[in-house]
Structure formats: C-alpha cells, structure tokens
Structure 1
Amino acid sequence: MNVIVLDDHRMVAQSIAALLSELGGLSVLGVCSGVNDACALIKRQPPDLLVLDVDLGGDDYRDAVHLLHRLAPEAHVLFVTALGAKFQPPAELRAFTIGVVDKTQAWEQLLSSLQLWRAQHGAPAINLTIDQLQRIQALAPREQRLMKALGHGLLNKEIARSLNLKEATVKTYRKHVATSLGVSGSQLVRLATLYRCWCLDQQNRAGTKGNIQLP
C-alpha cells in the first residue's frame, strides 16, 4: 500500500510520514508541502492513500483529491486538520474518506483510522500502538535517551559514544527496554524511530501552536 502526505507544515508532514511508514507499514511515495508537488507525484504514481491537511496556505486541497480520484478511483483520503470536528469532508468525497483526524490528538486517531482501513483491505493489524509510546515516557531518563538515539538509526557503538556509555551497557539497556515494552529487537528499532518523530512533533506543536494536548 502506497501513501502520499500533503501538509504545508513540513515537520508535521515528515512525522506523519514516519508514523505511516514505520508503524503502519505503508510505502511513502512522497512528503509534499504544496498541492502542485502532490499533483505531480500523483500523476507519476497514484497512491492508495492520500493523507492531507485542509489548510494549505492558500492551495485548494480538492485539486489533489480530485486528480487522485480521476486516476485511481479506488484510492482513499485521510484528513489531518487543526479544524477538528469543525471540518466535514464535502459530500462528493465522503465515500472515499477513511477519517478526519484532529491534529491536537493526531496519533491515536490516525492509528485508529489507519487500522480500520488496513482491516478493510485485508492487511495485517498494526502491532505497535500508541500505548507503547506512552510507556516509553515511564522509562528511566537514560533509557529514553537510548530510544531517541536508536530512533536516529545509530549503531550500538555510536549510541555508546554519544551517551558516554560502554557498548555492553547499551546492549543491556536495549534488552531491558525491549522486555519492558514487550517488543522484539526489530520492533524496538521501529518504535524508537516513531518515538523520535513523536517527540519532534510535540516540540513542533509546542513551538507553533501554544499549549496543545497530545495523547
């Protein structure tokens, strides 16, 4: 399953793309900040899913949606918007819309909508959940730092150097964290990548939108 993310806030778009790729198992064809770029991607390879914001700084999101449905009538749309419940998809798009996600509560709602869409297409369920992200925040500070470093794709020896630890200590921390979260080694890396993006998104929201509650 392929997806294109369209949001004029680049950092938010990249966080959403990481979530869809690392957790949702989707292939991200591109992350776009404008409708023209999204339309160019859609023409080259229409995605199965278009995830987009409604407010695109003057661009009309419907241009991208209508192009997608001309080229791929079976494709779906997922809206991620700060308008929350105030936004209702136009009547002609409702049959193709799998959800409207409130940006202030984005990850939990996004995962729920994605889970339902995957189930309808017979795809495997998402194994990692938002609960595991929240459980990371209960880990010791040094273990949280490990998760962020792991989320950057660093190897054990690189993590050890960046955190001023021995490589054997890093290996021990990784095993302990994986056991605490109930995940395998490979799942821990995926979860760490998502956690890094989640933290980045929290910082971005706090800096640009004031005091916003996140799940």
Structure 2
Amino acid sequence: MSVVVLDDHRMVGQAIAGVLSEVAGLNVTGVCVSVQEVVALINCSPPRLLVVDVELGGECYRDAVDPLLQRRPEAELLFITAMASQFVPPADLQPFTIGVMDKAQAWDQLLAVLMPWKQGLCGGITAAMQGCELQLAAIDRLSPRERRLVRELGCGLLNKEIAARLELSVATVETYRKSVAAKLGVSGAELVRLATLHRTLRWDAGSPAAV
C-alpha cells in the first residue's frame, strides 16, 4: 500500500509521512513539494494513495491528481487543507476520495481517516496471507535485530538506508537479509513482500509499530 505525500511545505509533508510510516505502517514512497516532483514520481511508480494539500501556492492539485488516476485508476486520494469545512472534492474525484482532513486536526484524526481505508483493503490483505501464514508467524520468533531488519524492509527502505538506521555496514545488512530469508524459507523478493505484509498486519491488529 504505497503512499505519496504532496505538500508545498516540506516540513509539514515530512511530519505527515512520519505518521503514515511509523504509526500507520504504510509504505511512504515519496514526500513531494511540487506538482512537477510528484508527477515524476507517479510516472515512475504510481502510489495506491496520494495525500495531497489542496493549497499548493501557485500550482493546482489537479495537475497531480489527474495523472495519478490516469496511470492507476484504482488509486485513492486523501485531501488535506486549512479550510476543510469549505472544501468539497469535485464530483468526478469523490469516488476516489477517502476523506478531507483539516490541517489543524491532531495526528490521531489523520489516522482515524485512514483506518476505514485500510479496513477496506483487508480482503486483499487476507488473500495475500494465504500460503504464508507460517512464515508470518515465524517472523515474531526471530531475534530482536532480525525483527528490526524485517520492520525496516517493510517500510520499503534500501540496504544502505537500513544500515544507517541500525548503525551497521551495508554488507552486514545483506548478510542479515540472507540469513532471515533462509530461516523463513523464502527468496529475497518474497522477504520484502512478507515484511510489508507483516508490518501492515501489526497495525491492523493494534500492535505497536516499533519492534
């Protein structure tokens, strides 16, 4: 469930992304401050959800939304605005809109908007679980360092980013990945999928995001 945040104030966008990633367990693939930046990302890898600020200075949010829906028709939108009580999504975007959030609201309100969206995807999560229940359960029996590695993989981080977070060398991270994949009996690519699914399930169950 990839998410991109578009807000012309980078610090605000990064704060939103932090909540989405660290608390909600979503895979934030980009924090953009301009339409040009987000369109370039959409052309490369269109996200499942776009969190977009309605007020973008001299730019129009539709210039980001329309290309996304053209590339990925099942994508959805979460609008953020300082005038939530006055903003109504255009009729053609309402079927794709999961909510409109006031910027003055607390972060728990952001999560409250997202929860119904995540619950609506539970069917897909359940289907994804089929055939890998044993591996998902085995993740909880890994060592603390190995579980932390799985958590970072579930965030979509690269080896060098994981190495920086865990204060390890890239080579050590690669060794850990191979060891965890072997313990779970999966390939490297399958390990990433399992890590993402495991992180999502922990949030859906109300478990803390941190390992």
TM superposition score category, shorter chain reference:
0.5 to 0.7
> In the aligned structure 2, how far is the partner of 1:189 from the partner of 1:110?
19
Taking a change above 3 Å as real, the CA distance of residues 106 and 87 of structure 1, as seen in their structure-2 partners, is: farther
Alignment match, 1:113: 113
Alignment match, 2:27: 27
**Local SS of the residue matching 1:105:** coil
Alignment match, 1:48: 48
**Which amino acid counterpart does residue 91 of structure 1 have in structure 2?**
A
**Which amino acid counterpart does residue 89 of structure 1 have in structure 2?**
P
**Local SS of the residue matching 2:58:** coil
- Cα deviation, 1:59-78, whole Å, max 9, x if unaligned, reads 11001110000000000000
Alignment match, 1:76: 76
Alignment match, 1:199: none
**CA apart distance, 1:84:** 1.5
Alignment match, 1:99: 99
The percentage of aligned residue pairs carrying the same residue is 54
> In the aligned structure 1, how far is the partner of 2:45 from the partner of 2:106?
27
- Cα deviation, 1:3-56, whole Å, max 9, x if unaligned, reads 000001111100000100011111111100000000000010000000010000
Q: Which runs of 5 or more structure 2 residues have no equivalent in the other structure?
A: 127-164, 168-206
**Which amino acid counterpart does residue 27 of structure 2 have in structure 1?**
S
| TM-score computed with the length of structure 1 as normaliser | 0.58
> In the aligned structure 2, how far is the partner of 1:109 from the partner of 1:99?
11
How many pairs were matched up?
Answer: 132
**CA apart distance, 1:109:** 2.4
- Cα deviation, 1:95-145, whole Å, max 9, x if unaligned, reads 000000001014232111110000000059xxxxxxxxxxxxxxxxxxxxx
**Local SS of the residue matching 2:93:** helix
Taking a change above 3 Å as real, the CA distance of residues 107 and 43 of structure 1, as seen in their structure-2 partners, is: same
Does the CA-based 8 Å contact 1:52-1:79 persist in structure 2? yes
> In the aligned structure 2, how far is the partner of 1:120 from the partner of 1:58?
35
Deviates more, 1:102-111 or 1:87-96: 102-111
Does the CA-based 8 Å contact 2:10-2:33 persist in structure 1? yes
RMSD: 2.1
Does the CA-based 8 Å contact 2:81-2:102 persist in structure 1? yes
> In the aligned structure 2, how far is the partner of 1:154 from the partner of 1:105?
33
**CA apart distance, 1:187:** 3.3
Point out the structure with the larger helix share. 1
> In the aligned structure 2, how far is the partner of 1:60 from the partner of 1:94?
17
> In the aligned structure 2, how far is the partner of 1:64 from the partner of 1:15?
20
Alignment match, 2:8: 8
Does the CA-based 8 Å contact 2:22-2:209 persist in structure 1? no
Alignment match, 2:86: 86
Does the CA-based 8 Å contact 2:49-2:77 persist in structure 1? yes
Taking a change above 3 Å as real, the CA distance of residues 22 and 187 of structure 1, as seen in their structure-2 partners, is: same
Runs of 4+ residues deviating >2 angstroms: 186-190
Alignment match, 1:17: 17
Does the CA-based 8 Å contact 2:77-2:98 persist in structure 1? yes
